[in-house]
A and B are shown apart, each in its own frame.
Chain A
Amino acid sequence: MSEKKNIDKFFQEQFRDFEADVPESAWPEIERRLQKKKKRRVVPIWWRLGGVAALLLIGLLVIDPMGWRDAKRDLPSEAPIVQRDTTQPVGSGSQDQHAVADADSTQLESDEAIANGGVHSPASGSSNVEKNDASNGGTSDRTKQDWKDIDRTKTNDASAVATAERKNNSANGADGSTKPNLRNANRPGARTKQNPNAVGQTDDAIAQSANNNRRTAGERNRKKSVENVSNVGTTDKSPNEERVAQANPSDRTKKKLDATQSATEKQNVDTGQTESIGTNLLPKTDDKTAVATQEKKDLTKDSTAVAEQPNPLDELLQQKGAPKDPKSKSLKRWEIASTVAPIYAGSTAGGSPIDTTFAGNSKSYDTQLSYGLAVEYALSKKFKLRAGVNKVSMSYNTNDVALYATMDGNTLPNLDSPAPNNSLGFGKTAARGVTTSRSAAVTETGNLETDKFQGRINQKMGYIEVPLELSYAVLDHKFGIDVIAGVSTLFLDDNRVMLYADGFRTDLGKANNLNATHFSSNLGVGFRYAFWNSFEANFQPTFKYQINTFSGNDGNFKPFFFGLYSGLSFRF
């Protein structure tokens, strides 16, 4: 009589430590799926990184982190307000000139003061000077010293207002009060309220507040000078100076000329003096310092006069409405290029990543073709950031390889060979047919010469390359020269090792010591020629030293690429 048992207990006991026989086919199938997944991972990463790079560039286009676009737009028509703005007493003006002359940076750093009070003043100075610079034609090579002169100019103009404010916070209020219409109309309350805090404000804050008010030409003028001065002031060393100056020489030129002219037209009693400012400033095309000095003189003369400029001018300007689109003459920041390059690969050290046996074999490198797209964003007139996507591959041959059949199985640990080929043994043929080999079978073979095949092993590594580079324009005219440096990320896309021997070809599989992702550091020189409109032809020989190509056992093989990248680009 069998016992009755709770069914639960029964099953529990039966299944305790129950192990089943796993079918043989289970693991190979899992292995296959794992390897398929590994391959697929390469492309999505590439997509993601490419997407990130694209997003970054688009982000830069959409978001205007430093108000560059506004800076451009605000430049024009500052001149008219200039004459009105120097409401500060003459004394401060003259004092300021010294201060300005002596300590550009400190003065410039007090952007807040300048911003609040002296917004208007710099305009004419800057506009004219920049116009002069533009007419010089050599805007691309503006030096810092030039900028200092320009700054001086600007600040001189602003000095009456600016330095006065700097010295005396309440002066800001005074500024506000003396120019009530202008200030209040355009930034209700903002200026008068802000003035006491002016010194404490940051340049960004000023720039932002400047950006916020775009209702009239007057405002724009003011903002422009704020940003110009603030930009210049905060970063004596930054390319901003150049950028601000150079970015808009042409549009500033045009608009300031108009503005100045209209301004001068609108002067009444003090017209003579204001005109003198304008005219004095205008013709100094080549001597920026001269302009500066001239403006200084003019200021001392004209500050009081200008200070009494009546408000109607302001109102007129306010009625002018939106300015013309400045973009027509602005810096074209974006560039798209397609590139094609023959790549000459090599290794800076001997060795072989396939096997140490081949370390001493001669290697010959096939020239490959790389092609891709690049997007470039101009951070300033001189610096450009570029990113792109290329397809590149490296194919080289290890020569003088001897091939044997052995019982050893796969004797190349760095390769994952498909099944029938992993019973091949490899050796190196010496010049005179005497072979050295790691395979024991060789030495046992009677006649070495007849038992072997001679050939070469070709290793091909294909990559998707995502370069990120910075280029500095050494020369920038119709014909330009850049220095380019950066890094690339390379994603392994193709990995093949083939044996070519005596007319037949054997697939040796893949190298398992290649990293799926590695990097290269790039250095190159770019030559560009703008042959039509916004199109340019580029030629950039670049040296790319590969880093971390192999995950191990690289046999002291240090690859590099040297590519002659050429292509067409379009600026917009």
Chain B
Amino acid sequence: MILDQIIRDCQRQDIKAQEQLFRLLSPKLFAVCLKYSRNYEEAQDNLQDGFMLIFEKIGQFAFAGSFEGWAKRVMINNALQVYRKESHLKLLNEEVIADEEVVEVEEINVSMDHLLRLIQELPDRYRLVFNLYVIENYAHKDIAEMLDISIGTSKSNLSRARTILKDKLEARTYNTLTAR
């Protein structure tokens, strides 16, 4: 398989293969970075750092499972690293709230840009929990471990994230509606 050969060449530090791998995977991986970062600039930094890590650790990939999944995990772990260092400085409402009522939104037409921005505007930890739970489908138990928080905190972070997003979405809807 062509990707396999590229991976093998990357394991040999072949710079041409490394570039090929970048061209192949960066669109998806940059999308991941955008979701996990605070803004576009940070997403770029995280993309670069993430790829450096991928190239560094590519020797560890044993061709078991999807490489894309492996690379994505490396990228996400890198993002988590960044915020793990900072998160202890930020104060969040850690009060454990009642478990999630189903939060619903209207299925409106929103641009990806806007959605991304909403996510990026979330407080760091809420954003991470939301991404890990909703997009990557990790369980709260795993998220708690990855972020070094309690399961309860993970759940309440998720709830709060959902609420904020819903409010912002609806505000936007309302704005667009009333803007007429």
Contact = CB atoms under 8 A, between A and B. Distances in A.
Interface of A: 2-8, 10-12, 14-15, 18-23, 25-27, 29-31, 33-35, 38
Nearest to A18: B31
A3 B106 CA distance: 6
B179 interface: no
Given A2-B106, A6-B102, A10-B107, A22 B27 contact: yes
7 contacts: A2-B106, A2-B107, A7-B165, A7-B166, A8-B133, A14-B115, A34-B13
B52 interface: yes
B26 A26 contact: yes
Given A3-B107, A5-B104, A15-B31, 13 more contacts: A5-B105, A6-B102, A6-B103, A14-B110, A18-B28, A21-B30, A23-B44, A26-B26, A26-B47, A26-B48, A27-B23, A27-B26, A34-B13
Interface of B: 13, 15, 18-19, 22-23, 26-28, 30-31, 34-35, 44, 47-48, 51-52, 55, 102-108, 110, 112, 115, 119, 130, 133-135, 162, 165-166
A307 to B, nearest CB: 72
Nearest to B51: A30
Contacts of B27: 19-22
B155 to A, nearest CB: 13
B31 A19 contact: yes
Contacts of B134: 8, 11-12
A370 B49 CA distance: 40
Contact of B104 (A6, A21, A27): A6
Nearest to B34: A20
A360 to B, nearest CB: 31
Contacts of A31: 15, 18-19
Contacts of B22: 26-27, 30
A4 B26 CA distance: 33
Contact of B52 (A5, A7, A10, A34): A34
A8 B102 CA distance: 9
A14 B162 CA distance: 15
Contacts of B23: 27
Closest CB pairs A-B (n = 6): A19-B27, A4-B104, A20-B31, A20-B30, A2-B106, A22-B26
A33 B45 CA distance: 13
A6 B101 CA distance: 10
B83 to A, nearest CB: 19
Interface of B is mostly: helix
Nearest to A15: B135
B135 A19 contact: no
Nearest to B163: A7
B30 A4 contact: no
A2 B44 CA distance: 36
Nearest to A16: B135
B167 to A, nearest CB: 11
A30 B166 CA distance: 37
Contacts of A20: 27, 30-31, 34
Contacts of B115: 11, 14-15
A25 B34 CA distance: 16
Contacts of A11: 115, 119, 130, 134-135, 165
Contact of B15 (A21, A29, A34): A34
Nearest to B55: A34
A477 B118 CA distance: 86
Contacts of B55: 34
A38 B13 contact: yes
A5 B134 CA distance: 14
B112 A18 contact: yes
Contacts of A30: 18, 22, 48, 51-52
B35 to A, nearest CB: 7
Nearest to A5: B107
Nearest to B28: A19
A2 B104 CA distance: 12
A409 to B, nearest CB: 16
A26 B44 contact: yes
Contact of B35 (A2, A5, A7, A15): A15
A33 B48 contact: yes
Nearest to B22: A27
Contacts of B106: 2-5
A418 to B, nearest CB: 16
Contacts of B108: 2
A7 B105 contact: yes
A31 B55 CA distance: 11
B148 to A, nearest CB: 24
Contacts of B104: 4-7
A18 B72 CA distance: 13
Given A4-B104, A5-B105, A34-B55, A14 B47 contact: no
Contacts of A29: 48
Given A7-B105, A12-B134, A22-B26, A27 B19 contact: yes
A429 B109 CA distance: 70
Contact of A22 (B18, B47, B112, B162): B47
A27 B34 CA distance: 17
A33 B13 CA distance: 13
Contacts of B51: 30
A7 B19 contact: no
Contacts of A7: 103-105, 162, 165-166
A17 to B, nearest CB: 8
A264 B42 CA distance: 91
Nearest to A416: B15
B103 to A, nearest CB: 5
A318 B47 CA distance: 77
A81 B22 CA distance: 81
Contacts of B162: 7-8
A30 to B, nearest CB: 5
A8 B137 CA distance: 10
A10 B34 CA distance: 18
Given A19-B31, A27-B19, A34-B15, A10 B48 contact: no
Contacts of B19: 27, 31
Nearest to A3: B107
A6 B102 CA distance: 7
Contacts of A22: 26-27, 30, 47
